[in-house]
Amino acid sequence: MTIPKSAVTRVPGFRAVGVTCGLKQSGNPDLALILASHPCTAAAVFTTNVFKAAPVLYDLALMERTGGKLQAVLINAGNANAVTGGQGLADAEQMARWAETACNLPADSVFVMSTGVIGQKMPMDKLETGIRIASETILTEAGRYGSAVAEAIMTTDLVPKEVFVQVVVGEKRVHLGGMAKGSGMIHPNLATMLAVIVTDAAIEPAALTAALKQAVACTFNRITVDGDTSTNDTVLILASGEAGHALISDSQSPGFAPFVTALTDVCSGLAKAVVRDGEGATKLIEITIRGAASEVEAEAAAKTIATSPLMKTALFGNDPNWGRALAAIGRSGARVDPAQVSLRLGDFQLVAQGEPLPFDMIAAHHWLAETDEVKLVADLGVGQAEATVWTCDLSYKYVEINAEYHT
Amino acid sequence: MTIPKSAVTRVPGFRAVGVTCGLKQSGNPDLALILASHPCTAAAVFTTNVFKAAPVLYDLALMERTGGKLQAVLINAGNANAVTGGQGLADAEQMARWAETACNLPADSVFVMSTGVIGQKMPMDKLETGIRIASETILTEAGRYGSAVAEAIMTTDLVPKEVFVQVVVGEKRVHLGGMAKGSGMIHPNLATMLAVIVTDAAIEPAALTAALKQAVACTFNRITVDGDTSTNDTVLILASGEAGHALISDSQSPGFAPFVTALTDVCSGLAKAVVRDGEGATKLIEITIRGAASEVEAEAAAKTIATSPLMKTALFGNDPNWGRALAAIGRSGARVDPAQVSLRLGDFQLVAQGEPLPFDMIAAHHWLAETDEVKLVADLGVGQAEATVWTCDLSYKYVEINAEYHT
């Protein structure tokens, strides 16, 4: 779906635009620029992958230098600037410098993200031109509407992913607009889950970081398409403070809780959109583990099911194959009482007290064939902790996407 | 391939046979019996899955009770007798009793293995008849040749898997014959990797267990088809002692080293055969990690690549997609120096000192398209440890096998 205004530009004080600079062979928009009217408080979380792409290394140092003060974000799709050595790092910095100059911003005010092919040098000539065009276009109506900004960060995503949420903090309306890209690590060497969220909330850097980590922990960190992390994964949030409510200085401030709730809604919406758009996905699969000894073990069990090719192919085949879910739980490392474990798929109770129950296999198969959203709930029977993870099924299309395209 | 004599019956003192008792709808042999002329020293390793099938629970107690003395093995294919509660355990014990009676063996001399559908009661009437027929047939020529014994343990395996090795211990010829089944966790609820090895070596239970664990650690424990362990995985070895060499009493005995080497050859041959026959596999993939800080980290890195759907689909697509291998290493938890890492695929050096190297992409693609055995070697550049893991690629056929069959 495309909306008249992009989610990020629905937040007062933010302009955005997507332009074409020629990184995508398709000629589709491939360079996105988001610009705030004033310097913003910024917080970001990055990939845990040891091989961090040049822009990630640049941004890590940037956040350190600025203490979390930024005014713009530059994102390119088509080249990840990853495994590009020293030249890659210099290129990431040059991209930031060009954007800062073009937008009349001081040094160290632009955050850089890249997604695309790994191991190829950035075509800096194209980027120099593209950055100039983007910084000019963003001052026009297109910039006010955020034209093509969500499209410009897509790689093999089938749809742009945007979420807009409003929340009242201290009797003031606070706006949050976010966009994301990603559908697994993608053909032939493309990668990455990127998300940018902007808000007019007034919040201190430390509190914003705490809020982002809290929101990401149970959303972006709870999704998986194929179990692979990328070299570029990044989630960034910019807060302009223009909403005018009392400053959220820390997690004890009255505005913190409602803000985290709204931010979690944005992250959750974007995260599920990424999974729904997973490579070759035909179903969104929600896996909830209950009765675990700890939340860590609940998450481990859920993620083991969520990354099991057997479970994912079974659900693609509309097969209520609970044996595969139990086998996955059994190797997850989570403590479980085999005599107490229970399992439910949608409305079908398949296992109780560790024993298989008779159920209408045909009805379950038909239900799976018709739904595009599957809920699997397992109780490990050893504690009170629980966790939910979202993934998608594994289809012929996934194999095609990842096998048929060649580097 | 079928050989005139099965690998297990090429070992003096062992008879074996496979018969049909009706567990497989195909009518193919589905019940295997292996019988030694005298009580043997036995050692076994079992699945680490929390959900252990009834025969695994029975065998664990059996090995405890007997201290590792057995004379026969009964294996059925078509029903895993897993997640079958108390009845399943009683059924496993009844199968052993029937075999012991039919073969005139004392109680606690028969080891039981099952592979097949999870969560369905064993059709004990069929098994009672099948066990009687097997125990009669094993005394005929068929039993001397081990007729159909390797076929009888197959589920969706495409080929029987057997290995025969001879080694000289103390100037006496020692024989080792093994067979295995498994090609991942299989349609629709089938599972399991099973292996049985028999030998006429003379060796104490503790030494045999030590030898088996050593051999399995770098063979069966180093293969993966889809990352899923089953509820029934079991590797058993029986040693009759009839070779007549000086008893191998412990790992210091002169015969221990050559025996472990021979046993490792058997396990390695069977393990690779399982991977080669992996569901939908078109290639055997050998992944070696060098320069790791520890063997544990080397194995973790190798297994992360070996279980990456992206790497496996890329190789199915004959795509020299080294970016996916690096990304997998980067999330494996193994220490790695991004500036020192190197990667080789077959004869193509793709990465050195952390930087991508120019290489003939077309030649690499054509080589991959023509070979059915791919070697990937990565050096993490942080230490001296190394480990090798074997897996297969991920094809449309894998998805078909696991999605198209319904429970």
Measure CB to CB from residue A226 to each of B82, B119, B310 and give the nearest one.
B310
Structural tokens at position A370: 């018709």
Res A64: pLDDT: 95
Q: How far is A383 from chain B (nearest CA, A)?
A: 17
> For residues A313 and B398, is the Cβ–Cβ distance under 8 A?
yes
**Which residues from B are below 8 Å from A231, CB to CB?**
326-327, 330
What mean pLDDT comes out for the span A4-17? 94
Measure the CA–CA gap between B126 and A402, rounded to whole angstroms.
45
In sequence order, what E strands does B186-296 have?
Answer: 194-199, 223-224, 234-239, 284-292
Measure the CA–CA gap between B174 and B190, rounded to whole angstroms.
35
Task: Inspect the interface and report whether the beta carbons of B336 and A50 lie closer than 8 Å.
Answer: yes
Res A20: pLDDT: 97
What mean pLDDT comes out for the span B375-385? 97
* Same domain (yes/no): B244, B391: no
Of B242, B276, B310, which one is at a domain's C-terminal end? B276
- Pairs of CB atoms within 8 A across A/B: 196
Q: Which of B304, B321, B359 to mutate to test the interface with A (most CBs of A within 10 A)?
A: B321
Residue B325: name the closest of B340, B306, B339, B297 by CA.
Answer: B306
Phi-psi region of B358 (alpha: psi -120 to 50; beta: other; left: phi over 0): beta
* Same domain (yes/no): A38, A173: yes
Res A228: pLDDT: 61
* Same domain (yes/no): B193, B302: no
* Same domain (yes/no): A293, A263: no
**Distances from the Cα of B19 to the Cαs of B60, B105, B154, B231, in angstroms?**
26, 20, 12, 24
Measure the CA–CA gap between A16 and A142, rounded to whole angstroms.
8
What mean pLDDT comes out for the span A141-153? 94
- Could you tell me what percent of chain B has a pLDDT over 90? 66
For helices A85-102 and A54-66, what crossing angle results, to 10°?
Answer: 50
Res B406: pLDDT: 47
> For residues B197 and B267, is the Cβ–Cβ distance under 8 A?
yes
* Same domain (yes/no): B254, B298: no
> For residues A74 and A113, is the Cβ–Cβ distance under 8 A?
yes
Q: Which residue in B has a C-alpha nearest to residue A359's C-alpha?
A: B407
What mean pLDDT comes out for the span A319-347? 91
> For residues B13 and B201, is the Cβ–Cβ distance under 8 A?
no
pLDDT at A347 over 90: yes
> For residues A189 and A119, is the Cβ–Cβ distance under 8 A?
yes
Measure CB to CB from residue A191 to each of B318, B327, B356 and give the nearest one.
B327
* pLDDT single digits (tens) B169-227: 988 999 999 998 886 543 334 446 788 999 999 999 999 999 999 999 888 888 876 66
In a domain, A122, yes or no: yes
The alpha carbon of B2 is separated from its chain's Cα centroid by a whole number of angstroms, namely 19
pLDDT at A305 over 90: yes
Measure the CA–CA gap between A342 and A378, rounded to whole angstroms.
6
Question: In a 3-state reduction of DSSP, which class is residue B349?
Answer: strand
**Which residues from B are below 8 Å from A314, CB to CB?**
188, 402-403
* Same domain (yes/no): B295, B165: no
> For residues A111 and A188, is the Cβ–Cβ distance under 8 A?
no
Of B276, B307, B340, which one is at a domain's C-terminal end? B276
Res B116: pLDDT: 86
DSSP letters of A47-62?
---SS--HHHHHHHHH
Phi-psi region of B344 (alpha: psi -120 to 50; beta: other; left: phi over 0): beta
In a domain, B347, yes or no: yes
* Same domain (yes/no): A272, A306: no
A162 beta partners: A179
In a domain, A9, yes or no: no
A181-211 in b/e form (b: 16+ CB < 10 A) is bbbbbbbbbbbbbbbbbbbbbbbbbebbbbb
* Same domain (yes/no): A193, A291: no
Structural tokens at position B305: 């690549």
**Which residues from A are below 8 Å from B309, CB to CB?**
226-228, 309, 394, 398, 402
B307 against B379, higher pLDDT:
B379
> For residues A225 and A267, is the Cβ–Cβ distance under 8 A?
no
pLDDT at A164 over 50: yes
Q: How far is B330 from chain A (nearest CA, A)?
A: 4
Res B1: pLDDT: 41
The alpha carbon of B363 is separated from its chain's Cα centroid by a whole number of angstroms, namely 35
Catalytic residue among B41, B192, B199, B307: B192
Task: Measure the CA dihedral B326/B330/B335/B340, to 10°.
Answer: 40
Res A187: pLDDT: 34
In a domain, A165, yes or no: yes
Res B295: pLDDT: 94
pLDDT at B108 over 80: yes
* Same domain (yes/no): B309, B385: yes
* Same domain (yes/no): A71, A198: yes
In a domain, B86, yes or no: yes
ipTM of the predicted structure? 0.72
Counting the structural domains of chain B, the total is 2
Phi-psi region of A22 (alpha: psi -120 to 50; beta: other; left: phi over 0): left
Task: Inspect the interface and report whether the beta carbons of A396 and B396 lie closer than 8 Å.
Answer: yes
* Residues of the domain holding B351: 284-403
Res A224: pLDDT: 73
What mean pLDDT comes out for the span A120-149? 95
Measure the CA–CA gap between B305 and B284, rounded to whole angstroms.
14
> For residues B275 and B235, is the Cβ–Cβ distance under 8 A?
no
Structural tokens at position B155: 């589920």
CATH number of the domain to which A327 belongs: 3.10.20.340
* B41 is annotated as an active-site residue: no
CATH number of the domain to which B261 belongs: 3.60.70.12
B146-176 in b/e form (b: 16+ CB < 10 A) is bbbbbbbbbbebeebbbbbbebebbebebbb
Measure the CA–CA gap between A19 and B30, rounded to whole angstroms.
64
Task: Inspect the interface and report whether the beta carbons of A83 and B400 lie closer than 8 Å.
Answer: no
Res B93: pLDDT: 98
Q: Which residue in B has a C-alpha nearest to residue A368's C-alpha?
A: B406
Measure the CA–CA gap between B291 and B370, rounded to whole angstroms.
30
In a domain, B93, yes or no: yes
What mean pLDDT comes out for the span A235-259? 94
The pairing of beta strand A234-239 with beta strand A194-199: parallel
Q: How far is A120 from chain B (nearest CA, A)?
A: 8
Res B146: pLDDT: 95
Measure CB to CB from residue B331 to each of A229, A331, A355 and give the nearest one.
A229
Measure CB to CB from residue A189 to each of B309, B323, B328 and give the nearest one.
B323
* Same domain (yes/no): B150, B98: yes
Structural tokens at position A346: 């949608």
* pLDDT single digits (tens) B315-357: 999 988 888 898 889 889 999 998 899 999 999 999 999 888 8
Structural tokens at position A120: 């190829």
Question: In a 3-state reduction of DSSP, which class is residue A78?
Answer: strand
Measure CB to CB from residue A327 to each of B231, B321, B403 and give the nearest one.
B231
* Same domain (yes/no): B235, B121: yes
Res B2: pLDDT: 45
In a domain, B3, yes or no: no
Q: Which residue in B has a C-alpha nearest to residue A227's C-alpha?
A: B308
Q: Which residue in A has a C-alpha nearest to residue B398's C-alpha?
A: A313
Structural tokens at position A9: 């530009």
Of B244, B276, B308, which one is at a domain's C-terminal end? B276
Res B59: pLDDT: 96
A238 phi/psi in degrees, rounded to 5: -115, 130
Task: Inspect the interface and report whether the beta carbons of A51 and B327 lie closer than 8 Å.
Answer: yes
Measure the CA–CA gap between B226 and A304, rounded to whole angstroms.
12
> Taking all residues of chain A, what is their mean pLDDT, rounded to a whole number?
90
In a domain, A346, yes or no: yes
Measure the CA–CA gap between A206 and A253, rounded to whole angstroms.
12
What mean pLDDT comes out for the span A237-258? 94
Question: In a 3-state reduction of DSSP, which class is residue B85?
Answer: helix
Residue B349: name the closest of B382, B385, B375 by CA.
Answer: B375
What's the per-residue H, E or C state across B282-322? CCEEEEEEEEECCHHHHHHHHHHHHCCHHHHHHHHCCCCCH
Q: Which of B224, B304, B319, B392 to mutate to test the interface with A (most CBs of A within 10 A)?
A: B319
Measure the CA–CA gap between A45 and A215, rounded to whole angstroms.
11
